[in-house]
Amino acid sequence: MSESQKSGRVARSNYDRLSRWYDLLAAGSERRAQAAGLELLKVRQGDTVLEIGSGTGQALLALARSAGNSGKTIGIDLSSGMISQAAAKIRKAGIPQRASLVRGDALQLPFQSESCDAVFMSFTLELFSPGEIVTVLAGCRRVLKNGGLLCVVAMDRQANPGLASRAYQWAHHSFPTIVDCRPIDALGVVSRAGFQLRDVAEMSMWGLPIRIVLAKKC
């Protein structure tokens, strides 16, 4: 078994266990940054949208409402527990025809090339190793149509991290299976993946810097 397969198995097991409680434990604190990313992306009626790491479906519902009846919204997640929670939200919202769910790996996106108008990731890209991030973003480029938009919401890695960031990095190194996100240079990795930057926003969560990057496939 490769290192990425081992990492994926551990992540899937962790999120399966957390899925029933995730909205209480983490989703609330992530909601403001997630909403800012959705506002920056501005999905339109009729768009086909993919959310990578759709989790419990919090953002997926908003994307589906923006895409409307003429659009299509797909969420992909590695965890079957998260998929179950998101499916329940979709049923409760009464929009099963607008949103679909796929249990799969972002390293091997099971979608046709140039099939999406937009791709959204919120607190997902930083779960991958540097090499895997390159693969994930290459997959995003492949499935996006020319001129399609990518929006990444991520914990930001800074040259001179503050106290909150240093404490978080210590927790990540000490308890990587629990504190699994790592701050990344979202602006840099998206630029190096060949996307054209459209907009950038910055905010904080628990004193930790968050960066929201909107970019276009040219």
pLDDT tens, 68-107? 999 999 999 999 999 999 999 999 999 888 899 999 999 9
* pLDDT (0 to 100) of residue 180: 55
- Which residues neighbour 202 within 8 Å (Cβ) at sequence distance 6 or greater? 156, 209, 210, 211, 212
- pLDDT confidence of residue 158: 66
Give the pLDDT score at 27: 57
**Does pLDDT of 8 surpass 70?**
no
- The pLDDT assigned to 1 comes to 37
Bigger pLDDT: 56 or 23? 56
Stronger pLDDT, 91 or 9, i.e. the higher one: 91
Determine the pLDDT at residue 25. Answer: 63
Q: Is the pLDDT of residue 4 over 60?
A: no
Q: Which domains does the chain have, with CATH numbers?
A: 3-216 (3.40.50.150)
> What is the rounded CA–CA span in Å between residue 62 and residue 66?
6
Q: pLDDT tens, 113-160?
A: 999 999 999 999 998 999 999 999 999 999 999 999 999 999 997 656
Cite the DSSP H helix spans in 42-143. Answer: 58-67, 80-93, 130-143
**Mean pLDDT of the chain, nearest integer:** 86
**Backbone angles phi and psi of 124, in degrees to 5:** -125, -45
| CB contact at 8 A, 16 and 81 | yes
Look at 179 and 52; give whichever has higher pLDDT: 52
Q: What global pTM score does this model have?
A: 0.85
Locus of tokens 């990795």: 189
- Please measure the distance between the N-terminal and C-terminal CA atoms of the chain and give it in whole angstroms: 36
How high is the pLDDT of residue 208?
86
Tell whether the model's pLDDT for residue 166 goes beyond 60.
no
